[in-house]
Structure 1
Amino acid sequence: MSNSVSSASSIVDNISVPENQPAPLDFVVIDVETACSRVSSICQVGIVGFRDGVETFAYETLVDPRDEFSSFNTRIHGICANHVVGQPSFLQVHPIVDAHLSGRITVAHSYFDKGALAAACRLTDCAPIETTWLDSVRVAKRAWPELPSHRLNVLTRFLGVKHKHHDALSDARAAGMVVVRAIDHTGIDLAGWLTPVKKRGGIAPKPASSGPLKGERVAILGAPRDGTVAHWIAGAGARIVASVGITTTMLVIANTQPFGRFVHASHEYRRAKELLNGGASVEIVTEDALRARLTRIESA
């Protein structure tokens, strides 16, 4: 494991600290491992920078947490007390972490790493690191809602990303690739991922016990899941789902959503087309066409 950085540096207390930030980055990613149940006990740090979907620098170091190592944590990441002998403390590593993160968008897979850094800063009387945080778990849940889990090792298998779980540098690199792939998959840019998502509406209506759509799992594009269209579809026996997933059987394009390039660019439509191309039984239908179909069934 190394203590290298990709930018020019000066030596402060024998620790390499970036003098100048690397070329403008889209975001950086950080992952930390801890020695015990105290989140301040950081024993490894990994940081990776991304620009235009490409890794631009990587930094990794072991850290002497000045704390005990629990057997539970060691079994997870493989780091024990012997590995950190002679390694820098968090107080010494803080300037490097601060130089890479401050003023940037920082990705972490869950907010554990954010909390660990804050706790370590408080413990060592270091200044808090001022950065804009983006949770790649939240990104993954929005990009691939159909997955049964959004743990990092599950996501990397799904995306085909090389990954050594619970190694700080590998975890940081993998979390960065989750964001890169999510941007490519959904068309949502980085600013979009940082914007809070408006809730789609209230609770979806319960499906009627019988009807021509009984057994269908329906996602609706262009109308709230508790609105008039949803109640009409549920009244025909269908279950209303929040988004298109592997169990969805129908995507209904509401009349409020003009069919055209805006529909074709939407995540729900693109996901339904992907499922169709993969052999799934999911139908894409406009609200008008569905209403006409149900009218024919009722009049038959």
Structure 2
Amino acid sequence: MFRQMSASVFSINGPVTSDQTVPDFVVVDVETACSNVSSICQVGIVGFRNGVEVFEYETLVDPLDRFSSFNIRIHGITGDHVEGAPTFADVHAAIDDHLGGRITVAHSYFDKGALGAACRIHSRPVIETTWLDSVRVAKRAWPELSSHRLNVLTKYLGIRHKHHDALSDARAAGTVVVRAMEHTGIDLAGWLTPARGRCGPAPKAAPCGPLKGERIALLGAPRDGLLARALAAEGACIVAAVGATTTMLVVSKEQPFGRFFTAHADHRKAEELRRSGADISIVLEDEILRRLTRSVAS
């Protein structure tokens, strides 16, 4: 639950100044007083550089709105706690100093929506920043987890965390992103690039070759990419996903799922098909390319 703060002390550290380390990204979390998404009553912001926390900012906020019993049960903040605290209009400039022009992480886009709504309600300009959803990051980094809620992730990764405290939530979400970069090797720029949902058409299978008749799904590589073209050039038909007629699943060496790629839905499906007697093999990219090299050499 909420840890008591003095209402007159709403900032642990002020905005990042020129003599402080400029963060690679910042993380924001907000708590709200009621079902109105604009009713921000607490803000926590943490900056990270090179995987290390470089600053923190926290404030209670008078939402100028009601406190619902439901929200109080979640975070423990009441109207008494925010008595004398600044309004969102008062802290807008400080928040903008931290987030404006930077990469801003939030665990889901609730916080983005809440800040946007509060800006409208309090007649303040929208904070211009580049948003990154740490839920999306976590789903891609640890697809084997059944839930990617922040408290589930912190337990799984062994991160100290006090759930529904804005500063602790911000720190935890930032640490999740840092761990995801370490785990997958994908840098911040890579996480900002949306995972390819739609891709171009699969390359046409060559009329002959050692892979003629194979129907191959790729794990961790686009079906219109270099690996797909290399396999199609040897006669393979590249399919969108593992299905009943798939004969091979090739795991790309660039796959972003780390050692947990076996938990991916396509891998699980291929295993299920094998157990049911289907003629489907699961091979690594390097293995299939070595096979092809030996086939050409012979």
Q: Tell me if TM exceeds 0.5.
A: yes
Distance 1:78 1:188, change over 3 A: same
d(CA) in 2 for partners of 1:184 and 1:163? 20
In the other structure, the counterpart of 2:155 is 157
Please, which of 223, 226, 237 is the counterpart of residue 228 of structure 1? 237
Cα distance between partner residues in 2 of 1:164 and 1:134: 22
Query: In 1, distance between residues paired with 2:68 and 2:29?
Result: 19
Relative distance call for 1:22 and 1:121 in structure 2 (3 A) is farther
Shift of 1:129: 0.7
Following TM superposition, by how much is the alpha carbon of 1:221 offset from its aligned partner in structure 2, in angstroms? 5.0
- Segments of 5+ residues of structure 2 without an aligned counterpart are 201-216, 229-235, 265-270, 272-280, 293-298
The Cα of 1:159 is off from its aligned counterpart by: 0.9
Residue 180 of structure 2 is matched in structure 1 by 182
Once the two structures are TM-superposed, the CA of residue 147 in structure 1 deviates from its matched residue by 1.1
| 1:198-243 CA-partner distances (Å, limit 9, x unpaired) | 22659xxxxxxxxxxxxxxx863546399924489745577xxxxx
The answer to whether the 8 A contact 2:28-2:43 is kept is yes
Deviations 1:258-297 (A, max 9, x none): xxxxx2x54256434899xxxxx99644458999xxxxxx
**What residue number does 2:233 align with?**
none
Query: In the alignment, what sits opposite 2:197?
Result: 199
Cα 1:100–1:269, aligned 2, differ >3 Å: closer, same or farther?
closer
Percent identical residues = 59
Secondary structure at the counterpart of residue 89 of structure 2: helix
Correspondence for 1:3: 10
> Aligned in 2, Cα 1:73/1:290: closer, same or farther, shift over 3 Å?
farther
CA displacement, residues 62-100 of structure 1 (integer Å, 9 cap, x when unaligned):
111010000000001111111111111111111110110
Stretch deviating more after TM superposition (129-138 or 192-201): 192-201
Matched residue of 1:125: which SS?
coil
Distance in 2 between the 1:184 and 1:102 partners?
A: 26
CA RMSD of aligned residues (A): 3.4
Residues 235/85 of structure 1: CA separation in 2 closer, same or farther (3 Å cut): closer
- Counterparts of 1:198 and 1:232, CA distance in 2: 14
Structure 1 contact 33–42 (Cα < 8 Å) conserved:
yes
State how far apart, in whole Å, the 2-side matches of 1:252 and 1:145 are.
18
Contact 1:272 1:284 in 2 (8 A): no
The equivalent of 2:143 in structure 1 is 145
TM-superposed deviation, 1:5: 4.6
Tell me which residue corresponds to 1:28.
26
Aligned equivalents of 1:140 and 1:233: distance in 2? 23
Q: TM-score, normalised by structure 1?
A: 0.71
Q: Residue in 1 aligned with 2:104? A: 106
AA aligned opposite 1:151: R
Structure 1: how far apart are the matches of 2:289 and 2:17? Answer: 62
Alpha-carbon deviation of 1:146? 1.7
Taking the aligned partners of 2:190 and 2:240, their CA distance within structure 1 comes to 30
How far is the alpha carbon of 1:135 from its aligned partner? 0.6
Q: Quick one: structure 1 residues 222 and 122, their matched pair in 2 at CA, closer, same or farther if it must change by over 3 Å?
A: closer
Partner of 1:123: 121
In 2 relative to 1, CA 74–133 (structure 1 residues): closer, same or farther, beyond 3 Å?
same
> Is 1:59 aligned with 2:57?
yes
Structure 1 unmatched ranges of 5 or more: 8-16, 203-217, 239-249, 258-262, 276-280, 292-300
- Kept in 2: contact 1:5–1:57 (CA 8 A): no
- Cα distance 1:233–1:149, how it changes in 2: closer, same or farther (>3 A)? closer
The SS at the match of 1:37 is coil
Could you tell me the TM-score, scaled by structure 2's length? 0.71
Q: Secondary structure of 2:26's partner?
A: strand
Query: In structure 2, do the counterparts of structure 1 residues 272 and 136 end up closer, same or farther at CA, with 3 Å as the change threshold?
Result: closer
**Alignment partners' CA distance in 1, 2:257 and 2:116:** 37
Aligned length: 244
Letter in 1 for 2:11: S
Question: Which residues of 2 match residues 161-176 of structure 1 at below 5 A?
Answer: 161-176=159-174
SS in 1 for 2:178: helix
CA–CA distance in 1 between the matches of 2:128 and 2:258?
A: 38
Matched with 2:71 is: 73
Structure-2 separation of matches of 1:25 and 1:200: 33
Written as runs of structure 1 = structure 2, the 5 A alignment for 1:87-102 is: 87-102=85-100
CA distance in 1 between partners of 2:258 and 2:95 (Å): 41
Q: How far apart, in 2, do the equivalents of 1:99 and 1:221 lie?
A: 38
